[in-house]
């Protein structure tokens, strides 16, 4: 059955997911099946449309995720391309319900797909968001070329240095990313180790770089999650273009950053 037919709010949410998936592809951040998305749809899903689970999928994570027990999510399918998700999110993603006790996700609508290989990170982060009062959490993971390039240079593997470098490239970076950028040391894709290290960084930041892999942002709105990565990617490009012009970019001064923080009532960490 087509679940979306009976869930107007769900349709709107799926349209937004599709739009952002298209942006990721257009930005050249989503080669092949690069990137994945999860969105907590518990408040948007009308349970009267439920007709039974298609199947179950076992999860293997060390963290307790009881805050999202029984919650319903859209997750992209393993191996699915963003450009296909943009055309048809429900044919390239799944609606799932989490069962913490059974350590499994129950597939509501899956078209025989498997959830993203990064499901451990998505579920642990979604649990963290819910615990912190965000009912409609979004986790967006993508592969922005410019930002991954920074993570190959030792000097930028320092969160404070990377944050200040990118903040100083354009005022919007300071304003839209007030908590700065976290760095997660390289860990094998799809593992609980990567998920745990990510969770630690999310105590301090809403966006972080997975070293030599990609970027992950969290929030309550998928467009905002996209904007955060977009502005950081722009800042990274400005830095790289200035370098290719043969100069070390001057960047906004400490005073200019302080002035911005005061004007936008941001935490003054300059
Ligand atoms: P999936 O296709 O399993 O979502 O993997 C893509 C990816 O980017 C892994 O980090
Ligand atoms: Zn990835």
* Residue pLDDT, tens place only, 184-199: 999 999 999 999 999 9
Q: Is the pLDDT of residue 4 over 60?
A: no
Q: Please tell me whether residues 188 and 227 are part of one structural domain.
A: yes
Q: What is the mean pLDDT of the chain?
A: 95
* Cα 83 to middle of ligand 2, angstroms: 15
pLDDT, tens only, 160-189? 999 999 999 999 999 999 999 999 999 999
Q: Is 168 in the pocket of ligand 1 (CB under 6 A)?
A: no
Q: Is 92 in the pocket of ligand 1 (CB under 6 A)?
A: no
User: Which of 67, 99, 116 finishes a domain?
Assistant: 116
Q: Please tell me whether residues 164 and 239 are part of one structural domain.
A: yes
What's the 3-state SS for 169-202?
CCHHHHHHCCCCEEEECCCCCCCHHHHHHHHHHH
* Cα 47 to middle of ligand 1, angstroms: 29
- Residue 123 falls inside a structural domain: no
Residue 91 domain boundaries: 1-116
Do residues 238 and 244 lie in contact, with contact meaning Cβ atoms separated by under 8 Å?
A: no
Q: Which atom of ligand 1 is nearest to the CA of 143?
A: 8
Note the pLDDT of residue 3. Answer: 61
Note the pLDDT of residue 270. Answer: 58
* Cα 190 to middle of ligand 2, angstroms: 9
Q: Is the pLDDT of residue 156 over 50?
A: yes
Domain count within the chain: 2
Q: pLDDT band at residue 5, thresholds of 50, 70 and 90?
A: low
User: Which of 100, 116, 132 finishes a domain?
Assistant: 116
Q: Is the pLDDT of residue 210 over 80?
A: yes
**212 vs 186: CA distance, rounded Å:** 7
Task: Report, as an integer, the average pLDDT of 250-270.
Answer: 92
Q: Is the pLDDT of residue 15 over 90?
A: yes
Q: Is 35 in the pocket of ligand 1 (CB under 6 A)?
A: yes
Q: CA–CA distance from 34 to each of 6, 20, 145 (Å)?
A: 31, 14, 11
Note the pLDDT of residue 48. Answer: 82
Q: pLDDT band at residue 1, thresholds of 50, 70 and 90?
A: very low
Q: Please tell me whether residues 220 and 148 are part of one structural domain.
A: yes
**139 vs 219: CA distance, rounded Å:** 7
pLDDT, tens only, 38-64? 999 999 998 888 889 999 999 988 889
Q: Please tell me whether residues 72 and 175 are part of one structural domain.
A: no
Note the pLDDT of residue 43. Answer: 94
Contacts of 148 (CB under 8 A, 6+ apart): 209, 212, 213, 214, 215
Q: Please tell me whether residues 148 and 270 are part of one structural domain.
A: yes
């Amino acid at each position: 059955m087509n679940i979306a037919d009976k869930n107007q709010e769900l349709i709107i949410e799926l349209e937004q997911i599709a739009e952002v998936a298209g942006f990721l592809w257009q930005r050249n951040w989503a080669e092949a099946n690069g990137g994945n998305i999860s969105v907590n749809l518990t408040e948007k899903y009308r349970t009267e449309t439920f007709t039974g689970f298609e199947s179950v999928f076992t999860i293997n994570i060390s963290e307790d995720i009881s805050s999202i027990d029984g919650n319903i999510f859209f997750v992209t399918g393993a191996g699915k391309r963003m450009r296909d998700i943009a055309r048809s999110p429900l044919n390239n993603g799944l609606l799932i319900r989490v069962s913490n006790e059974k350590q499994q996700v129950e597939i509501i609508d899956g078209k025989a797909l498997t959830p993203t290989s990064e499901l451990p990170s998505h579920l642990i982060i979604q649990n963290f968001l819910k615990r912190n009062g965000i009912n409609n959490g979004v986790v967006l993971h993508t592969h922005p070329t410019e930002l991954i390039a920074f993570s190959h240079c030792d000097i930028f593997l320092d969160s404070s240095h990377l944050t200040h470098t990118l903040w100083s490239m354009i005022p919007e970076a300071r304003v839209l990313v007030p908590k700065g950028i976290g760095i997660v040391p390289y860990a094998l894709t799809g593992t609980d180790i990567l998920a745990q290290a990510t969770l630690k960084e999310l105590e301090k930041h809403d966006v972080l770089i997975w070293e030599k892999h990609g970027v992950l942002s969290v929030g309550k709105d998928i467009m905002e999650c996209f904007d955060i990565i977009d502005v950081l990617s722009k800042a990274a490009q400005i830095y790289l273009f200035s370098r290719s012009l043969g100069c070390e970019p001057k960047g906004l001064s400490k005073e200019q950053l302080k002035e911005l923080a005061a004007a936008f009532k941001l935490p003054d960490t300059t």
